[in-house]
Amino acid sequence: MTLERGRQDAGEKPRKLLRLICPAYPTFNIYSAQARVTTALGPICVATSVHELPGWDVEVVDENNYHFGPRGPDGKPDHKSIQRCRRADVVGIYGGLTSTIPRLYEIARLYGRMGVTTIAGGQHFVDDYVEEALNRGVDVIVKGEGERAIVELLPKLIAGEDLSSTAGLAYLDGGRVIQTPDRPAITDFDSLPIPDFSVLHYAKMKIFPVTGVRGCGMDCEFCAVKGKPRFATPQRIMAQFASAHEKHRARRFFLVDDLFGQNRQETIELCRLLREYQNEMSIRFTITVQIRLDKARDIELVAAMRQANISTLAIGFESPIAAELQAMNKRLDPAEMIELTALYHKAGFHIHGMFIFGYPLPAGASFDMPIRERIRRFQRFIRKARIDTLQVMLPVPLPGTELTRRLRDQGRLLPRQFVGLEYYDGNFPLFEPDKPLTCETLQAAVRLIMRRFYRPVQMVNVAMNILAFPALVFWLHRLRVGWARWCRRWWNSVYRTGGWFIVRRWTAAFKKDAFLAKLAQAKLRIRSEAHTLAEHHKTKSDSRHIAREG
């Protein structure tokens, strides 16, 4: 049975439906628990723009935050059942995470078999991946930002019109890939509607994403976010907080931008607006932002952030090893990083530290550190910096990045026919590392660092902190300081207990996976190709030598 989508007057055309889908992670990972209570902001923004398109309805289905819809035998959303209940005319699939691309192709083929036009967009679709997607079930790729492209594209798809005049698209025409000119980047964000989370179906939202910056000028070798930063106004960002709170009673927020604080005066103004709004509404938000370490020196900015109830800072430390930081194009000194982190701690922030272990150095770089010493360096830094929560990942050669091009040129990438895109989530080795490291020791080292940080003893610490609560009486002369210290210990023990369960569950899933067997095959292929290439060069050299002798 197909449900009716609104009443139509006599002679009025039936309304069309766009369904946007965020594909599920291929397996449990460190993001899985968080993903069950939040969603990707990009599809929400695109869906909200379609609200303004006459004759169209729109919905978003996030397979990672999917709590009460129909499910198939594999436990994932049953899209055939969803389609029978409410027929979508066009389906868009989010390709912002490379590890979810195999699932994206699966969904595209499923809807294609049901006669539905499929489109896809996201940072994954660059270079050869555009043609690959078009040959794997996707009808149209939207390149770049999607809010304006989708409004132009949908009427043309339904009418069967030519797409060549629409900027920012890729599609097949007679088996040939057609790519239209790039669409100009959006700079007037006030012209876009405020993201509306009511378009999200089957989900439970606890953490609401907010954005204020697009693009990043930091030029990190491993990062796919590039281009001159484009900033939204403080009023525009504040409107997102207010909308989510007033419509969905949101209190927990994550500012997804990498450059919080980069536009200094506007950031201070945003913090003022946040403080005044919370005072007027008699509420208290819990806000997490991503910020650079060097902003810790800005006393006025840091004070404004605390007054706005920004409580957690996610900081990309990346590595405590100077040679690796230099390879990443990171202009940081490990000792200075600890000093700056102490300033954030002194201001009362919780620090979520994000690291990359085993970053590959450029060709010709001289650096030889045993795996045990690397692990000790990481653990010593984490301890000295007093990191509250931790994330250590392996380098991921994301599509379109300088890192990917460098590793491909060096012949170090593991062949995709063995180690597929489903492993591109930061938990698996994806290339031959620098000597004396190996793929196996690289992955084992990350698990060891995480396991020693998130330990089962934290469950005991939870109980100990509860028992220690009455000790606050000794801090009556400085109750705020005593309360802050107790809260930090309490929350750290709670979060680290949760982290232990996550690491434990991921380890169990890893043991059931066939990754190690695939890794062995991939390494054999790389060595075989390297041997063949060496033989080829030797033959050419011998031929030249014989020719000279003749």
Clarify whether residues 220 and 301 are in a common domain: yes
pLDDT at site 224: 85
pLDDT higher for 137 or 529? 137
393 inside domain: yes
Going along 357-410, which residue ranges are E strands? 389-393
pLDDT at 474 exceeding the cut of 90: no
5 inside domain: no
Q: Which residues contact 542 (CB under 8 A, 6 or more apart)?
A: none
Q: Which domain holds residue 175?
A: 16-179
**Residue that terminates a domain, selected from 511, 528, 544:** 511
447 inside domain: yes
Count the neighbouring beta carbons within 10 Å of the beta carbon of residue 535.
Answer: 10
pLDDT higher for 536 or 156? 156
Contacts of 502-505 spanning 24+ positions with Cβ under 8 A = 502/30, 502/32, 502/33, 502/454, 503/30, 503/447, 503/450, 503/451, 503/454, 505/28
Amino acid of residue 57: D
Beta bridge partners of 210: 255
Q: Taking each helix axis from N to C terminus, what angle separates 334-347 and 371-385, rounded to the nearest 10 degrees?
A: 30
355 inside domain: yes
Contact 428, 29 (CB under 8 A): no
How many domains does one find in the chain? 2
Q: Which residues contact 191 (CB under 8 A, 6 or more apart)?
A: none
Q: How would residue 460 be classed by pLDDT, with cut points 50, 70 and 90?
A: low
- The CATH number linked to 485 is 3.80.30.20
Distance separating alpha carbons of residues 279 and 42, to the nearest angstrom: 30
In angstroms, the first-to-last Cα distance of the chain is 84
| pLDDT more than 90, % of the chain | 71
Q: What are phi and psi of 325, to 5 degrees?
A: -60, -40
pLDDT at site 472: 45
Amino acid of residue 461: N
Clarify whether residues 332 and 467 are in a common domain: yes
For residues 74-84, give the mean pLDDT. Answer: 96
36 inside domain: yes
For residues 536-547, give the mean pLDDT. Answer: 50
Contact 224, 399 (CB under 8 A): yes
Clarify whether residues 128 and 225 are in a common domain: no
Total residue length of the chain: 550
Clarify whether residues 219 and 146 are in a common domain: no
Distance separating alpha carbons of residues 5 and 69, to the nearest angstrom: 18
pLDDT at site 480: 60
pLDDT at site 81: 97
Contact 171, 178 (CB under 8 A): yes
Clarify whether residues 470 and 357 are in a common domain: yes
pLDDT at 368 exceeding the cut of 90: no
pLDDT at 66 exceeding the cut of 90: yes
Tokens of 238: 């504040």
Q: How would residue 497 be classed by pLDDT, with cut points 50, 70 and 90?
A: confident
pLDDT at 241 exceeding the cut of 90: yes
pLDDT higher for 269 or 482? 269
DSSP state of 26: S
Give per-residue pLDDT as tens, 200-224: 999 999 999 999 999 887 778 888 8
Give per-residue pLDDT as tens, 385-401: 999 999 999 999 999 99
Give per-residue pLDDT as tens, 407-443: 999 999 999 999 999 999 999 999 999 888 999 999 9
When mean pLDDT is compared across 11-25, 138-152, 528-542, the lowest value belongs to: 528-542
Clarify whether residues 173 and 213 are in a common domain: no
137 inside domain: yes
DSSP state of 341: H
- The CATH number linked to 74 is 3.40.50.280
Clarify whether residues 265 and 210 are in a common domain: yes
Q: What are phi and psi of 333, to 5 degrees?
A: -115, 130
Clarify whether residues 30 and 72 are in a common domain: yes
Going along 416-468, which residue ranges are E strands? none
Tokens of 230: 């484009």
When mean pLDDT is compared across 17-21, 229-233, 513-517, 536-540, the lowest value belongs to: 536-540
pLDDT at site 228: 87
Nearest by Cα to 23 from 100, 111, 98? 100
Mean pLDDT of the chain: 89
pLDDT higher for 108 or 463? 108
pLDDT at 1 exceeding the cut of 60: no
Q: How would residue 498 be classed by pLDDT, with cut points 50, 70 and 90?
A: confident
The CB-side HSE value for 43 (13 A sphere, CA atoms) comes to 29
Clarify whether residues 77 and 126 are in a common domain: yes
| 169-173 sheet: strands from edge to edge | 176-179, 169-173, 140-142, 117-121, 90-94, 16-22, 56-62, 200-201
Contact 53, 92 (CB under 8 A): no
Clarify whether residues 319 and 352 are in a common domain: yes
Count the neighbouring beta carbons within 10 Å of the beta carbon of residue 411.
Answer: 12
pLDDT at site 268: 97
Give per-residue pLDDT as tens, 299-326: 999 999 999 999 999 999 999 998 888 8
Work out the burial of residue 317: count CB atoms within 10 Å of its CB; fewer than 13 is exposed, 13-18 middle, 19 or more buried.
buried
**Residue that terminates a domain, selected from 144, 179, 214:** 179
Distance separating alpha carbons of residues 315 and 292, to the nearest angstrom: 6
Work out the burial of residue 324: count CB atoms within 10 Å of its CB; fewer than 13 is exposed, 13-18 middle, 19 or more buried.
buried
Distance separating alpha carbons of residues 154 and 18, to the nearest angstrom: 9
Clarify whether residues 207 and 146 are in a common domain: no
Give per-residue pLDDT as tens, 443-455: 999 999 999 999 8
Clarify whether residues 132 and 210 are in a common domain: no
516 inside domain: no
Count the neighbouring beta carbons within 10 Å of the beta carbon of residue 510.
Answer: 17
pLDDT at 531 exceeding the cut of 60: no
pLDDT at site 323: 85
Tokens of 184: 């100009």
